[in-house]
Chains A and B, each alone.
Chain A
Amino acid sequence: MNRKTLIEIKDLSFSFDRKQEVLSHVSLPLYEQDYLVIMGPNGGGKTTLLKCMLGLLKADSGKIIYHGVKRKDFGYVPQFTTFDKSMPLRVYDFVETGLIGDYHPLNRRKNGDKDLIMKQLEDFSLTDIAYSCISEISGGQLQRALLARALIQAPKILFLDEPTTFIDSESRGNLSEILKKLNEKLAIVMITHDTSAVDDQVKNIACVNKTLYYHGRDEHMQESLEKVYGCPIELIGHGLPHRVLKEHK
């Protein structure tokens, strides 16, 4: 791929409290308009790697070089478990929180904000539930609200942490379609432990379990995935009548 590199991870190591090593000497590039899926078992350091890329966690050693992208260019869709769904917050207000980066206490809401939020709600089919509480909506709707919030400031890279875990198969199909369209304009980094989340739009796959086992998109991936998971893996693109890779023997 001859595209421009947006983020370069170089020899990154991370440990919690300097004791338990989670990531060890990981190097990984992210290209412009890349669709990178970071795979690996639970506890393999995927989320940690993502948070390092976002700048939310500081690595012990190694570095991350950003080429022309800043924090405000990052859209982030976290796991459902990282936030408090019981908060009194309507879908409208929730999507609005995506604009918080521009907030200044003495320069109150700009007039265009309301239109922008309504447009965003419409784009993600959330208009009907705009004034419902986030505690009352379905997993698929919440996932779309998270996307709407992450994308309202037109980021250059969209990060998604286990986006398929709490949604049904229909919503998964929708998500896949949405991501395909988005990838025409921006780079996507998705982490998942769910091998069925990988479809034919994915441009690069990184297998991480403490270290990076594989990065790319070819036939060697199968072997690496099996090494990472420690068992045979079959990659099947959901909702699409094809296999991502050759049938596993």
Chain B
Amino acid sequence: MNILQYEFVQNALIAGGLLSIIAGIIGSLIVVKRDTFLIGGIAHTSFGGLGLFYFLGLDPILGAFAVAIASGSVIGASNEKRLQTHNALIGVLWAFGMALGIIFITITPGYAPNLLTYLFGDILTVTKTDILNILIYDVLLLALLILFYKPLMVYLFDKEFASLHGIKVKLYRIMYYLFIAISVVLMIRSVGIILVLALLTIPPLIVLRLFKRLHHIMIMATVFSLIIFIGGFFIAYYTNLPTGPIIIGTGTVLLLIVRMICSLTQKNS
């Protein structure tokens, strides 16, 4: 029987396709702005919210969402220029979030959930509602990106020049952290906390040196994300191994291959 006939497989592939757009756009921004540590921080901190909402008997993903936004705001409010304290703050939130999550899940009466589900996610459990949420977010993200791409570029490149020309630098900063927080939570559902980081960084890293313009990097990162996702999904299916880790493994191997080809062709030329 063709596996594409299963509804959960269809859902997983559609979700993967839609998540690839997030990985391509937000991932490229993060890699270009060198904020990968920040993503790890927000993703892991949100585990605290996940545990709290689980303890309260509410939807854990909503808790993760609330804490991702809160930690994004706290990190966003701290001064990026004071790198030492900025990075230390991310580290503290990272550890504290994980600790809180585990404490809450432990003290919750009854059967303890499988932590691996949240840490590594499971794309096969994605529902139609999840898909709709990701789709709405994709449309919003694309619309804003198309409308504000040029000022965003100026903001990313040179904040002083941006503010001299009337770009609301603070608003861009808030929006940047807000969109990262939402992206992280949407991805936690399918690939899990630990692997969000990889899915947001591997595709842009693959194409970063191959293209000279940010929107080309975004488009190609989306394409590579899709390749990694679909490739990883089928490898996982036929080898009967967990989907999330296999997707990331596929991405890492692809990254290594592309980088090796690049350095070989550079040497030859």
**What residues of chain A have their CB less than 8 Å away from a CB belonging to chain B?**
51, 54-56, 71-72, 74, 76, 78, 82-84, 87-90, 93-94, 96-97, 100-101, 103, 105-106, 131-133, 149
B212 pairs with A90, CB closer than 8 A: yes
Q: Which B residues are CB-close (under 8 A) to A105?
A: 147-148
Specify which of A55, A71, A103, A132 lies most central, judged by the most chain B CB atoms within 10 Å of its CB: A103
A51, A56, A71, A88: the one contacting B213 at CB < 8 Å is A88
B160, B165, B166: the one contacting A78 at CB < 8 Å is B160
Q: CB of B141 within 8 A of chain A?
A: no
With A89-B153, A105-B148 already in contact, the answer to whether A56 and B163 are too (CB < 8 A) is yes
A90 to B161 Cα, complex, angstroms? 17
B153 pairs with A83, CB closer than 8 A: no
**What residues of chain B have their CB less than 8 Å away from a CB belonging to chain A?**
32, 147-148, 150-151, 153-154, 156-158, 160-167, 208, 211-214, 216-217
B148, B156, B213: the one contacting A84 at CB < 8 Å is B156
With A71-B164, A100-B162 already in contact, the answer to whether A83 and B157 are too (CB < 8 A) is yes
B161 pairs with A54, CB closer than 8 A: no
Q: Which A residues are CB-close (under 8 A) to B162?
A: 100
Q: Which A residues are CB-close (under 8 A) to B166?
A: 71, 101
Q: Which B residues are CB-close (under 8 A) to A97?
A: 150, 153-154, 157-158, 161
A89 pairs with B214, CB closer than 8 A: yes
A-B residue pairs in contact (CB < 8 Å), sample of 30: A51-B160, A56-B164, A71-B164, A71-B165, A71-B166, A72-B165, A78-B160, A78-B161, A83-B160, A83-B161, A84-B158, A88-B32, A88-B208, A88-B214, A89-B157, A89-B213, A93-B213, A97-B153, A97-B154, A97-B161, A100-B154, A100-B162, A100-B165, A101-B166, A103-B150, A103-B151, A105-B147, A105-B148, A106-B147, A149-B161
With A88-B213, A90-B213, A131-B212 already in contact, the answer to whether A100 and B150 are too (CB < 8 A) is yes
The dominant DSSP class at the B interface is: helix
A93 pairs with B164, CB closer than 8 A: no
Question: Beyond A88-B32, A100-B167, A103-B151: 9 further Cβ-contacts under 8 Å?
Answer: A54-B164, A74-B164, A83-B161, A84-B158, A89-B214, A90-B212, A100-B162, A105-B147, A149-B161
With A54-B164, A83-B161 already in contact, the answer to whether A88 and B151 are too (CB < 8 A) is no
A131 to B212 Cα, complex, angstroms? 9
In the complex formed, the residue of B with least CB distance to A88 is: B214
B164 pairs with A76, CB closer than 8 A: yes
Q: Which B residues are CB-close (under 8 A) to A149?
A: 161
A89 to B154 Cα, complex, angstroms? 10
B157 pairs with A87, CB closer than 8 A: yes
For the complex of A and B, 10 pairs with smallest distance between CB atoms: A83-B158, A105-B147, A101-B165, A87-B157, A97-B154, A100-B165, A133-B212, A100-B154, A88-B214, A90-B212
